[in-house]
Amino acid sequence: MENNLVLRVVGKLLIPFILLFAVYVQFHGDFGPGGGFQAGVIFAAGIVFYAIIFGLDQARRIVPDRLVETMLALGVLIYAGVGVAGLFLGGNFLDYFVLDRNPVHGQHRGIFWVEVGVAITVCGVMLKIFYMFASRGQREEDA
Amino acid sequence: MAITAVVLTLRRNLFAVVVLSGLYSFLMATVLVALDAVDVAMTEAAVGAGISTVLLLGALHLCKSEESRSTRSPWLPLALASSVGVLLIYGALGLPDFADPNAPIHQHVVPRYLQNEVDVPNVVTAVLASFRGYDTLGETTVVFTAGAGIIALLRRRKSSTEKNRDGK
């Protein structure tokens, strides 16, 4: 599909907005529908779209495998790290009230970082699965 | 939606099946919007219709695109499925009405959730990330495990094919 002009132009136009929408869903999750899981999937979908139009190798150059694998673990670590941070500040595991002097702000901060963790892991896993499947097909074509 | 489901089971061409299941997911997402579950609808549209369609197409790329005919008779599974369906419908008749404020589910912990001591306007986010933080941590770990499993499975396959090539 790399030579299809319409797809290339429309893709180039749309992908920034898909990624922006993912970020919006992420940070607006407190107020409207959305949250880490949806944001992660939409972000991954944007990159998958890019990979389909411009080829897997091009996408891998932008979002390399190492980064994706790091994201996989980093998200869970951030999530658990928020819990441990609560422990250090004198609360229970995953207790957000102690994260700030104002307990309500502490909740906001806790939810924010937790959602970031979820988004990073989900995005990483989706991309990794896609890369794995797509690259297997490629290798068999080469053979 | 029912038509999509019936056609889905009758089709033998897997490409059509994948496209139809994406269509089914989008219809499901509209149903969820109608039920005021916007968060779930968003997830359904993004995961069910988006990512999983792409992944299924990717898998389809690796295998044959025609479903082979089953050798067993379909009557026993059909009878089982329809009797379970009848049981579920019978059970659903006993549920309280949709959006009934006196339903048990709205009497238990929901009033506390809705008082919203965490002061986040979207209750779904508050419940998922704060009240049930452990739950969501578990879910994230499950997603992580799925990713790690995929890496473990497909990586090994790659190194073994490389070994085979070296052997040749």
Sorted by where each begins, the domain ranges of chain A are 5-142
* pLDDT at residue B119 in the model: 65
Residue B75 CB partners (closer than 8 Å, separation 6+)? none
Task: Please give the ipTM for the structure prediction.
Answer: 0.73
B57 shares its domain with B115:
no
* Burial of B165: CB neighbours in 10 Å, binned 0-12, 13-18, 19+: exposed
For A78, which residue in chain B has the nearest alpha carbon? B137
**Where residue A1 falls among pLDDT bands split at 50, 70, 90?**
low
B109 shares its domain with B63:
no
Residues of B in contact with A125 (CB under 8 A): 143-144, 146-147, 150
B5 shares its domain with B56:
yes
Q: What residues of chain B score a pLDDT lower than 50?
A: 166-168
Q: Kindly state the tokens that stand for A83.
A: 């819990």
pLDDT tens digits for range A95-122: 777 666 777 777 777 788 888 888 888 8
Mean of the pLDDT values across residues A28-43?
78
SS3 state at B80: helix
Does B62 contact chain A (CB < 8 Å)?
A: yes
Q: Alpha-carbon distance A58 to B57, whole Å?
A: 20
Tally of structural domains, chain B: 2
Q: If you average pLDDT over every residue of chain A, what do you get?
A: 80
* pLDDT at residue B86 in the model: 94
> Do residue B42 and residue A33 have CB atoms under 8 angstroms apart?
yes
Which of A29, A46, A40, A45 shows the shortest CA–CA distance to A72?
A40
In a domain, B166, yes or no: yes
| Full domain range(s) for residue B125 | 105-168
